[in-house]
Amino acid sequence: MKFQYFIPTKILFGCGQLDKLHKQKLPGKKALLVISGGTSVKKYGYLARVQDQLDKAGVTHVIFDKILPNPIETHVTQGAELARKEGCDFVIGLGGGSIIDSAKAIAVMATNEGNIWDYIFGGTGGSKMPEIAPLPIVAITTTAGTGTEADPWAVITHQDRNEKIGFGYDKTFPVLSIVDPELMLTVPEKLTAYQGFDALFHSTEGYLNKYTNPLNDMYALKAIELIGKYLPTAVKDGKNIEARENVALANTLSGMSESIGGCISEHALEHPLSGHNPKLEHGAGLIMICEAYYAYWAESGLVNQRMIDMAKALGKQDATKAEDFVGALHDLIVSCGVEDLKMSDYQILKEDLKMYTEVAFETMGSLFKADPGEMTFEDCLKIYEKSFQ
């Protein structure tokens, strides 16, 4: 019953909330507006709407539009250089998790020396703490997957080393986040599923985390319940605003769960896959390994009641054993139409699974320490092998 609760982010949640941006006390007068290298925020008018809001607020801005689906270290450096050159005094991330994660990392590097890898804990990171506070961060999310609008974490890949590692501390929480489900109506079917499962696993991992606490348990179980009930509808009918709202809420709750609970080794196992194969969507990678992963914990007997709780939250009200969660998870995967994902389709080779296991421990080894029990190298390798298709 001892825990810390710290989520210092003002969150505007609900349809139409983007239109209230100009009424907020923004943390500066010139923003670096970070968006993806794609076209969606321009195509669907989201960028123009944010620009209009900034104009109304009397805030000027500069656009940085290079961010990839798996964001990389060099783009963080370039964004920070642009922020300094243009004299930006805060950063806005407009887009999905990769955009907002990048905005956080750029905000850190706009005020500190070196590059972001000097401050990464794990792998070849320098494990330094930033000496100077980052620029303030505003998050405007257009997807429901990472929960980054409500947590301090930013996941970045070092493009030369294929290391994909999370970073964050108290000062990388956004000061303001806007979660407007109307901005999510255009997310394609498959990406809706991938993102929804990422949010799901932030909560399931948080609920199994041995350092969990009563508040985290409430957030995690509610997020699991909402995803189980609404994600299939959001996937099949992307214009269904009720489904989008509830999946968005689940995502934000999952971000809060990451802030006060935290992920465990499932995320450590996925990061090497998408870190080495950047065309692999993070959520898709999690789906590939999830059934073998949770079957491992069901077989361990260490978290039986918690897995029953999660099965009931997913909708299996008559659950009586840990394996029922694995069954409920499989049913959700099928109902969202993502049961056909294969590692081999992303050029992941079976002979490389041992290497991926090594990388998981080297880059994200700290997550294994939060597992409900010990997971050995051989255990991890077997999970990869059972997941491989």
pLDDT < 70 regions, the chain = none
- Exposed, middle or buried, 351 (CB in 10 Å: 0-12/13-18/19+)? exposed
Q: What is the pLDDT of residue 141?
A: 98
Instruction: Give the 3-state secondary structure of residue 123.
Output: coil
Query: How far apart (Å, rounded) are the C-alpha atoms in residues 375 and 53?
Result: 49
pTM: 0.97
Q: What is the pLDDT of residue 29?
A: 98
Angstrom CA distances, 4 to 210, 215, 219, 251, 369, stand at 15, 10, 15, 21, 18
* Digit-coded pLDDT (tens) for 314-349: 999 999 999 999 999 999 999 999 999 999 999 999
Q: What is the pLDDT of residue 2?
A: 85
| Residues in the chain, overall count | 389
Angstrom CA distances, 77 to 116, 146, 167, stand at 7, 22, 15
CB 204 within 8 A of CB 371: no
Closest CA to 183 of 143, 150, 239: 143
Q: What is the pLDDT of residue 66?
A: 96
Q: What is the pLDDT of residue 1?
A: 79
CB 212 within 8 A of CB 258: no
